Amino acid sequence: MQCNYRFTSRQGFEQACGCGKFGIPDRHGDLKMTLEKTDVERIAWLAQLKLSDNDLPEYARQLSSILAFVEQMNTVDTVSVAPLAHPLELSLRLRDDVVTEGDQREAFQALAAHVEAGLYCVPKVIDT
């Protein structure tokens, strides 16, 4: 169903438009991203949220804001931007890779209940 309503404000849309679609008008009044009532209900179901019918327009408006922001972010040219692991260029202090503790395998295996060929033997847990 197409909505021909000219939007004057974000709040005015939910109150004035009866087409069943919720969305955010752009600066010229055209609806950019529309979410239908069933879309919002499906998202709420997937997120395991219980929403009342009175809450649907507000959630639709907020979700449409998020989608409009993502759409706006997608228009930014990021070809020349190098990916970062962290927003600040920090270097970590690294320590030398040196063994600081001796091999204690024999001491640990001496404490074990049952060792065979250097392996710890444990009782079977799952019967097939």
| pLDDT for res 109 | 94
What pLDDT was estimated at residue 13? 41
Mention every residue, 6+ apart, whose C-beta is less than 8 A from residue 45: none
- Greater pLDDT, 21 or 67: 67
Structural domain range at position 27 = 10-74
For residue 65, being part of any structural domain is answered with yes
Q: 3-class DSSP state for residue 74? A: helix
Does residue 19 sit within a domain?
A: yes
Residue 23 sits in a domain whose CATH number is 1.10.20.60
Question: How sure is the predictor about 32, in pLDDT bands with cuts at 50, 70 and 90?
Answer: low
Q: Is residue 53 part of a domain?
A: yes
| 98 within some domain | no
Domain count for the chain, please give it. 1
What does the pLDDT average to over 17-36?
53
Residue 109 included in any domain: no
Percent of residues, the chain, with pLDDT higher than 90: 24
In-domain check, residue 30: yes
pTM: predicted TM-score of the whole model, two decimal places? 0.43
